[in-house]
Amino acid sequence: MAGRNARITKDTAYGYHTQMNVGSKPERTRLSAEDWEVAALGLIAEQGVGALAVEALARQLGVTKGSFYWHFRTREALLNAALERWEQYGEREIIDEIAQISDPRKRLPELFRRVAHELQPHRVYAALLKALDHPQVVPVMARVSQRRMEFLTTAYREAGLAPPQALNRARLTYAAYVGFLQLNFTLGLPRINHEEFEAYVEHMIATLIPA
């Protein structure tokens, strides 16, 4: 009986998953493959790909392995499904919104500020960066990173940089983004505070974006 009280429910949709519903009724709805994938992404975001174990996940979901192996053939299959889900739904929104800004020169600063202010969706990306030794995640990360790099490159071209400069500036910018993820909420370097962070973002904009 004990062990049934820590559950993850589907209504805590993608970006806001891994919310315990402590205190609410057990609401013993049966699970779908999607539930497992979402929960898997939550676990990955918090503890990394290495911590993705089926029995641990089952405990979190309030069921046993018997359930899991009905929905998936193997643990590997779950990982692939979760990664695919992340690649499909987890991204794009920001890029799409930015692309609709008319003035090309305002796109990059806006992009920087947006990304800086919603770091939550980037936790999965950060976790996957640490899991590049798992062969399954490499192609996914390669595709996602490549798409973002291309978006950045054209944005820099539209902001006035010559093609070679634009490519290199995009490389630099994206590397800074990736490095920042690692150094901050992965490693916990001297915990930068809010206003200091704002200043850092503006410094980035002033340094990396051509006037």
Q: Which residues bind a second copy (CB under 8 A)?
A: 47-48, 50-51, 129-133, 138, 141-142, 145-146, 149, 164-165, 168-169, 171-172, 174-180, 182-183, 186-190, 199-200, 203-204, 207-208
Among DNA, a second copy, none, residue 203 binds (CB under 5-8 Å by kind): a second copy
Cα–Cα distance, 159 to 168 (Å, whole number): 14
Among DNA, a second copy, none, residue 62 binds (CB under 5-8 Å by kind): DNA
Q: Rule CB under 7 A: say whether 59 interacts with DNA.
A: no
> Euclidean distance between the first and final Cα of the chain, in Å?
64
178: Cα within 13 Å, side-chain hemisphere: 15
Per CB under 7 A, the list member of 11, 34, 76, 84 interacting with DNA is 76
Between the CA atoms of 58, 59, 61 and 67, what dihedral angle is there, to the nearest 10 degrees? 30
Strand partners, 20: 8
Encoding tokens for residue 33?
Answer: 């493959």
Taking a C-beta distance cutoff of 8 angstroms, is the pair 45, 123 a contact? yes
* Residue pointed to by tokens 């009986």: 1
Instruction: Compute the least distance from the CB of residue 200 to a second copy, in Å.
Output: 5
Taking a C-beta distance cutoff of 8 angstroms, is the pair 143, 88 a contact? no
Residue 20 phi, psi dihedral angles, 5° rounding: -70, 140
Taking a C-beta distance cutoff of 8 angstroms, is the pair 36, 68 a contact? yes
- What b-and-e string marks burial along 58-67, b requiring 16 or more CB atoms within 10 Å of the CB? bebbbbeeeb
Among DNA, a second copy, none, residue 71 binds (CB under 5-8 Å by kind): DNA
Q: Rule CB under 7 A: say whether 92 interacts with DNA.
A: no
Among DNA, a second copy, none, residue 69 binds (CB under 5-8 Å by kind): DNA
Per CB under 7 A, the list member of 5, 24, 74, 182 interacting with DNA is 74
In the bound state with a second copy, the residue whose beta carbon lies nearer, of 9 and 153, is 153
Among a second copy, DNA, none, residue 138 binds (CB under 5-8 Å by kind): a second copy
Q: Rule CB under 7 A: say whether 134 interacts with DNA.
A: no
Site residues, DNA (CB under 7 A): 28, 30-32, 52-56, 58, 62-67, 69-71, 73-76
